[in-house]
Structure 1
Amino acid sequence: MSKLMNLPKPLTAKLPSALGGDGRGVVAVVRVHGMIAAGPAGIARHVVSAESIDEQLIRAFGMDRVKAVALLINSPGGSPTQSEVIASRIRQLAEKHKVPVIAFCEDVAASGGYWVACAADEIYAAETSVVGSIGVISAGFGFQDLMSKLGVERRVYTSGTEKARLDPFTAERADDVEWLSGLQGALHDLFRQWVLERRGSQLQQDGDLFNGDVWLGREALQRGLIDGVGSLREIAAKKFPHAEVEFVAPKKPFFARLGMPFPDPLGMDSALGRFGAAAAQALVGATVETLEARVAWGRFGR
């Protein structure tokens, strides 16, 4: 028993009092940081997906003596499907383990970020947090004039009249825009239904609530989008005064665990390979995906 009493505080907090624990419990924190997109996160790819966050959620909800799971959200949104799947998974685990979920909005919890926040039983934000953006946006580029200037002829062969919708190398078609608008409207309806289901009577009956706008913390509170203004540790201390706040970190990729920043394509001991890997890593960070993420954050002044 004396050995148990000498365990570090984070461990004794999880033990029953009969085994030398103090019975305080744990608030498990899972970060939801970055763009929400399909696929795994990785080097120079700071995204959140159902795949990348699932292991953290399982560990958080399955912790011994867990009092609550806190979602620390800082995301401008992204994929509606990934947002829906992540939120659904959170609710599934919360109901399975009978553990309350509290969301904390940091810089931004907008669009898909707010969709995920609505999976929580309560939502909090800082006064300076940007919250909302209950809407749908699609963006792309048109290169038809560039193709013409370069003297490049576009050749596309399809089976099905609508197979080549929204082709960036041809002029925009009115029926394509109409089709996309209908798709966006349907997604917007699903988003609105989810927010109404989760926030219900707390929402202010405001015609602007679902127009895609965003609000700072106090304004979001007035509209019923959040339950209060405060930080993670501040609210955790009030609700669970004797609990430890513990962050559930994602497991490091295989090469990171070996101390390698990137797979070495030319061998573990190859200096050339290491330089090539570093160059490849830099190039990956300059992809279109990175630019799109910068644009997404920029919409909210962040």
Structure 2
Amino acid sequence: MNQQSQDASAFPSGERQNIGWERETLEKLVFANLREQQSARRWRLIVRFSWLVLLGAVAWFWFNQDAMGSAVSTPHTAVIDIKGEIASGAEASAENVVGSLRAAFEDSGAQAVVLLINSPGGSPVQAGIINDEIVRLKAQYNKKVYAVVEETCASAAYYVAVAADEIYVNKASLVGSIGVLMDGFGFTGLMDKLGVERRLMTAGSNKGMLDPFSPQDETQNAHMQRLLGEIHAQFIAVVKKGRSERLKETTDTFSGLVWSGQQAVEQGLADGLGSLDHVAREIVQAEDIVDYTRREGVGMRLARELGVSMGRGAAQAAQWRGSVLR
């Protein structure tokens, strides 16, 4: 009888089964641990590779930005798009537009700057920042600024446009809307019908002002109306300063009405009819057009998406590891 059979015969059958079960369980634990280590190594490699791609994309983006900025030196017309809502975080935010303006003014080859506008408006704060910067840069660099309106130049967009030396429109453009609004909804009547009670707790008697689920308060409404009136007065002052004697003011000029491009020219809200090409060729007399608009490039977009993906993957990995350790 060999040694193995002797060892096996040394234990009762029940004990031999227990030994086999323990050995099988131990093997499973060892293999599970190996798989976990392999998975962890793969994840570390993925993270490192992703970071390399991210850093490479960012470096590529900045390199190309610098190359683009330094390559433009011959005489040209600088153009900056102001499209969509003028708001913080939007493409037409003050941060983006001001950055584009500075790059255009600093380039010695830019003979003038054209704001190509197609916007329904937005934040008066963002528009005010852009307007102030245009005025400052014009004085510093002694360059002309022209606004060219495509479909729409209304409200905050017109606030920006009046900082230009001249405004050109299409005869069918929509221009104006010199006013300020604050809107919302009220649900108190509906709540009464449904038997819903609003329970609002505040520290400060006006902290719940304009709450859509509470009745309107005349004192608070009067305060907000004065606030809107003050911002409207600032808007009017900027328009009068920008358009000066060219503005043919009527009772409707600052009422919030919008006009066609042709009507805007007649009322002095714009200077004439013309497109971007017309202004570059006939007014600036520099037919070459260079776009200075700040946009999210491929490299930055890739970097952002990789960053989001990596963050999500890291969170999932941490959650998975946590469930294993519990």
- Give the shorter-chain TM-score range: 0.7 to 0.9
The 5 Å alignment of 1:254-273 reads: 255-258=300-303, 260=305, 263-264=308-309, 265-267=311-313
| Structure 2: runs of 5+ lacking an equivalent | 1-68, 317-326
User: Which residue number corresponds to residue 277 of structure 1?
Assistant: none
Match of 1:165 in 2: 209
Distance 2:186 2:221 in 1: 13
1:147-166 aligned within 5 A: 147=191, 153-166=197-210
Tell me what 2:231 maps to: 187
Structure 1 moving runs of 4+ over 6 Å: 10-13
Counterpart pick for 2:221 among 135, 155, 177: 177
Distance between the aligned counterparts of 2:139 and 2:157, measured in 1? 21
Q: Deviations over 1:78-127 (max 9, x none)?
A: 11111111111111122111111000111110110100000101111111
1:1-302 superposed matches below 5 A: 14-15=73-74, 25-37=75-87, 39-41=88-90, 47-147=91-191, 153-252=197-296, 255-258=300-303, 260=305, 263-264=308-309, 265-267=311-313
Letter in 1 for 2:313: G
Q: TM-score, normalised by structure 1?
A: 0.73
For 2:293 and 2:313, locate their aligned partners in 1 and report how far apart those are by CA, in whole Å: 30
> TM-score, normalising length from structure 2?
0.68
For the residues of structure 2 that align with 1:259 and 1:136, how far apart are their CA atoms?
A: 35
Q: CA deviation at 1:173?
A: 2.0
Matched length: 245
How far residue 135 of structure 1 moved from its aligned partner, in angstroms, is 0.9
* Alpha-carbon separation, structure 1, partners of 2:231 and 2:117: 22
Contact 1:31–1:73 (CA<8 Å) still a contact in 2?
Answer: yes
Q: Work out whether residues 77 and 286 of structure 2, in 8 Å CA contact, stay in contact via their aligned partners in 1.
A: no
Once the two structures are superposed, residues 141-173 of structure 1 have per-residue CA deviations (whole angstroms, 9 ceiling, x without a partner) of: 223345556665433332322222111121222
Q: Which has the larger radius of gyration?
A: 2
- Cα distance in 2 for partners of 1:262, 1:231 equals 41
Counterpart Cα distance in 1 of 2:172 and 2:159 = 19
Cα distance in 2 between the residues matched to 1:110 and 1:92: 23
Structure 1 residues 261 and 181: alpha-carbon distance in aligned structure 2, compared to 1, 3 A threshold: farther
